[in-house]
């Protein structure tokens, strides 16, 4: 833009804009074109770069999250996932804690902080491995869990 965005008055009308129509109340009028802009159905390079967006929230987890549904529920989310993904969670010793498979359009997956047997995990550091059709992403997660308070009922 050659002129800053402010009102311009010209008497007689500017020959470049010979119209005497003042419906724009003398504010500058700008034009742009979208002829060369189009959506792409699938881009392999974009899918690979989207792996960097995958994250786990909240991280760190300090005994409470807004995702928790009640006093006995602990929950985190793994976000920005593609339609198909396999999420494998390990503790720092490399022991498999849980494996979850995602095959739905939602872009996140909840983990209820329980192992494969439905037992709540211990607080500590966990490694989350996300495998997709286009690549893999490794996340680190730290959580401090609270003991269940059964007196809240």
Q: Can you read off the two tokens belonging to residue 135?
A: 């690549």
Q: How confident is the model at residue 38 (pLDDT cuts 50, 70, 90)?
A: confident
Mean pLDDT rounded to a whole number for the chain = 81
Q: What is the mean pLDDT of residues 102-126?
A: 91
Most confident of 6-20, 23-37, 63-77, 95-109: 95-109
pLDDT over 70 for what percent of the chain? 76
Strand partners, 125: 142
**Is residue 147 over pLDDT 80?**
no
Give the helix/strand (H/E) hosting 48.
Answer: helix 44-49
Q: How confident is the model at residue 103 (pLDDT cuts 50, 70, 90)?
A: very high
C-alpha distances out from residue 33 to 3, 30, 37, 41, Å: 19, 11, 9, 22
Q: Can you read off the two tokens belonging to residue 9?
A: 């008055």
Q: How far apart are CA 83 and CA 62, in angstroms?
A: 29
11-23 pLDDT, tens digit per residue, is 545 555 555 555 5
Q: How far apart are CA 72 and CA 6, in angstroms?
A: 59
C-alpha distances out from residue 145 to 25, 70, 76, 77, Å: 62, 14, 12, 15
Lowest mean pLDDT among 5-9, 83-87, 123-127: 5-9
Structural domains present in the chain: 47-148 (2.60.40.1930)
Longest CA span, the chain: 83
**Is residue 74 over pLDDT 70?**
yes
- Secondary structure (3-state) at 56: strand
Please state the pTM of the whole predicted model. Answer: 0.68
């Amino acid at each position: 833009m050659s002129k800053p965005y402010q009102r311009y008055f010209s008497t007689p009308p500017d020959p470049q804009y010979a119209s005497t129509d003042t419906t724009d109340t003398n504010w500058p009028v700008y034009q742009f074109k979208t002829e060369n802009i189009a959506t792409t159905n699938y881009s392999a390079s974009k899918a690979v770069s989207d792996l960097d967006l995958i994250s786990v929230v909240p991280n760190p987890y300090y005994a409470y999250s807004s995702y928790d549904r009640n006093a006995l529920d602990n929950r985190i989310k793994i976000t920005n996932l593609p339609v198909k993904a396999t999420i494998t969670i390990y503790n720092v010793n490399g022991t498999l804690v849980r494996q979850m498979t995602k095959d739905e359009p939602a872009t996140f997956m909840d983990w209820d902080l329980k192992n494969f047997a439905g037992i709540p995990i211990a607080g500590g550091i966990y490694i989350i491995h996300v495998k997709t059709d286009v690549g893999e992403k490794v996340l680190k997660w730290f959580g401090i869990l609270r003991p269940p308070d059964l007196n809240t009922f």
